[in-house]
Amino acid sequence: MPKFGKKYQEAAKLIEDKVYDAEEAIELAKKTSIAKFDETVEVAVKLGVDPKHADQQVRGAVVLPYGTGKTKRVLVFAKGEKAKEAEAAGAEYVGAEDLVAKIQGGWADFDVAVATPDMMGTVGRLGKILGPKGLMPNPKVGTVTLDVTRAINEIKAGKIEYRTDKAGNIHAPIGKVSFDSEKLVSNFHTLIDTLVKVKPSAAKGQYLRAITISTTMGPGVKVNPLKASGKKD
């Protein structure tokens, strides 16, 4: 069993062994934040899917209305006019073979990579390096595209990627402890509603099995999965 410090144990006492509505859970997560820095508020969702089957994998991206509180450094693989377009849109790094060689040399000082479709033959050589880090451009999440301006704008505005792990869980940030609760609630509902929208047709039984909200260093707060959607019937 992991040993938790006194601050964590005191914070955990404020949380009852029950499921909360999203609004209450977010308030509790903020209240039980124990670090001196501005912690990230994170959501863990257990989905009723079996990721071993390709038709039950859940992966995509969503733009959170209030962002994550983190500024992402964007790298774009592009040439010619598309490279100029990426620079104008605010990408931190833009290039082609030169960036591929730099990354092969061990450099990885960026958070998201975008590529135009014509560059993927070259970028493919980085699969073993970028793949395990979750940095490989992918059309499923909108990072392989000709519309580099839109891709960069969405990333800068608070676009996050989500994907199921081997156990069918999704982990995603929804903001910082310093955010107003209303903004965190809005980001939470946007994420959950998106996951519901992309539910695989092959998934059987209850889809949203369990949801937990926590801060980087704080204890988890269980959310009622049956009331997690922001959409009203």
pLDDT of 10 = 82
C-alpha span between 120 and 216 (Å, rounded): 35
Average pLDDT value for the chain: 93
Q: What is the Cα–Cα distance from 154 to 64, expressed in whole angstroms?
A: 9
The rounded Cα 163 to chain-centroid distance in angstroms is: 8
How far, in Å, CA of 21 to CA of 43, rounded? 14
Burial of 24 (0-12, 13-18, 19+ CB in 10 A): middle
Q: Report which residue type is found at 67.
A: G
What is the per-residue pLDDT across 15-64, written as a single tens digit (0 to 9) for each? 888 999 999 999 999 998 888 999 999 999 999 999 999 999 999 999 99
> What Rg value do the Cα atoms of the chain yield, rounded?
19
pLDDT in tens, 77-128: 999 999 999 999 999 999 999 999 999 999 999 999 999 999 999 999 999 9
pLDDT bin (cut points 50, 70, 90) of residue 145 is very high
Residue-wise pLDDT tens digits, 43-57? 999 999 999 999 999
- In this predicted structure, what is the pLDDT of residue 231? 66
Q: What is the pTM for the complete model shown?
A: 0.83
- How far is residue 214's CA from residue 229's CA, in Å, rounded to a whole number? 18
